[in-house]
Amino acid sequence: MKNIVKSILIYLAGFITAIILGAIIGISGSVSDNTTQRQGLTIFQEEGNHINETQFKVFQVLEPNLALANGKGSGTYVFNGIIVLLMGSEGKYFYDDEVIELSSNPNQAGSFQYESQNGRRTVPVIRIK
């Protein structure tokens, strides 16, 4: 009789432990920032280089809050400057041909690598708040 009770208690202890570990793993996975999970995207611990442009025009939306954009060089009327990946905060959505104007020159928040028709490209990441 003691062996049966002991076996049942060991089984229940293992079952409860499995449920607790599953919950911990599930919670830790859902807490991570989904935008940094994208392949080729690296976010810096500290802000990087200063970007000398304040106007950008979206040419491709990758996800609702991630978009590739061309910068508008100073003194020009066309968006043929630096290519950047714009990363919007939660609730910020981009659309094709949208023009983004920043109040001050941004700093690089990371880098993004992707394949284009011209080969592999690496561009700076700018956070839009």
Give tens-digit pLDDT for 18-68: 888 777 777 655 444 444 467 889 888 888 888 888 899 999 999 989 999
Q: pLDDT category, 69, cuts 50, 70, 90?
A: very high
In a shared domain, residues 84 and 108: yes
In a shared domain, residues 93 and 124: yes
The count of other CB atoms within 10 Å of the CB of residue 57 is: 18
For 77, 102, 104, 126, the CA distances from 44, given in Å and listed in that order, are 32, 21, 20, 11
The pLDDT score that the predictor gives to residue 28 is 59
**With a threshold of 0.75, does the pTM exceed it?**
no
In a shared domain, residues 10 and 42: no
In terms of residue numbers, what domain contains 61? 36-128
Domain tally, the chain: 2
In a shared domain, residues 9 and 51: no
In a shared domain, residues 69 and 99: yes
In a shared domain, residues 47 and 81: yes
In a shared domain, residues 14 and 40: no
